[in-house]
């Protein structure tokens, strides 16, 4: 099996004044070349799971393997490198840098990985063009529509050609028809080497995945899978 991310007995409990167990001994393998949707009620742990997969947060227990290599959650500098090289992340709020143009937002992400400015700009332009937004390159986020901002955020997540794309309710703040457009873009990013996982509350968008997952009682249940 060509698994790109594996979870072994992953648990996450938040400790505030009382314990909040969110993820409970999850065992699951996400395969390369597949698209997964993740549904589940608000508070069921979708974002918590995605934050662990992106190594932004660490599990309370269990192992995370990326490319069959165990992640050491205390080694943040190595994990930062793995993240910038292999993982693209899109959030509900696109969090583009407000004082930078669309092009700058995308190319800065590329520059963080290789410090060749001209090459970074060239790569950013290509990916923005793929998103159909060449004419908006010089616009600041405040001069873009919600859907355009989100497509620029996707371009930024993709500029380093990550094998893993994680999206947490990427169209949660968009109207239905703009959301559909953005999802079409997202779904078309499937390649044979890439793993895409997105959390959504929308059944229609969830159905666009190869495999539909749901967070239930702190665990991942397969609702529908076309994956062999
Ligand atoms: N930093 C934190 N400290 C304490 N509790 C937290 C923290 N982050 C999340 N939680 C709790 O963990 C649970 C899961 O939250 P999470 O954000 O993963 O849910 P979700 O499935 O993404 O929900 P939504 O659909 O609303 O985005 C919630 O009960 C939440 O209150
Ligand atoms: Mg969430």
Q: Is ligand 1 within 6 A of the CB of residue 42?
A: yes
**Ligand closest to the CA atom of residue 42:** 1
Q: Structurally, how many domains does the chain consist of? A: 1
What residues have a C-beta under 5 A from ligand 2, the ion? 46-47
Nearest to 91 by CA among 117, 54, 116, 122: 54
Task: Express as a percent the part of the chain with pLDDT over 90.
Answer: 79
**The whole model's pTM is what?**
0.94
Domain with 209 in it? 3-225
Question: Hey, whose CA ends up nearest to atom 2 of ligand 1?
Answer: 14
pLDDT band at 228 (very low <50, low <70, confident <90, very high): low
How do residues 131-183 score in pLDDT, each as one tens digit?
Answer: 899 999 999 999 999 999 999 999 999 999 999 999 999 988 888 888 998 88
For 83-100, what is each residue's pLDDT tens digit? Answer: 989 999 999 887 899 999
pLDDT given at position 1? 61
- SS3 sequence of 174-214: CCHHHHHHHHHHHHCCCCCCCEEEEECCCHHHHCCCCEEEE
* Ligand 1 pocket, residue 78 CB under 6 Å: no
DSSP letter at 80 equals: H
Helices (H) then strands (E): counts for the chain: 7, 10
State the DSSP code for 68.
T
pLDDT attached to residue 182: 87
For residue 48, the domain's CATH number is 3.40.50.300
């Amino acid at each position: 099996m060509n698994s790109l991310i594996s979870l072994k007995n992953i648990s996450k409990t938040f400790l505030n004044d009382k314990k909040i167990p969110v993820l409970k001994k999850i065992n699951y393998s996400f395969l390369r070349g597949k698209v997964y949707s993740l549904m589940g009620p608000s508070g069921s742990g979708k974002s918590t799971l995605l934050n662990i997969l992106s190594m932004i947060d660490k599990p309370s227990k269990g192992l995370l393997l990326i490319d069959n290599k165990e992640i050491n959650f205390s080694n943040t500098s190595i994990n930062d490198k793995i993240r910038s090289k292999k993982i693209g992340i899109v959030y509900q709020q696109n969090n583009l840098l407000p004082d930078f143009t669309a092009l700058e937002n995308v190319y800065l992400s590329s520059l963080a990985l290789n410090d060749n400015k001209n090459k970074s700009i060239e790569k950013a332009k290509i990916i923005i063009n793929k998103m159909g937004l060449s004419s908006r390159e010089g616009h600041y986020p405040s001069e873009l529509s919600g859907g355009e901002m989100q497509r620029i955020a996707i371009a930024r997540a993709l500029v380093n050609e990550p094998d893993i794309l994680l999206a947490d309710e990427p169209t949660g703040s968009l109207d239905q028809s703009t959301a559909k457009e953005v999802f079409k873009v997202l779904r078309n990013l499937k390649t044979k080497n890439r793993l895409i996982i997105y959390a959504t509350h929308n059944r229609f968008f969830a159905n666009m995945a190869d495999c539909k997952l749901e967070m239930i009682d702190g665990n991942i249940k397969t609702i529908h899978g076309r994956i062999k």
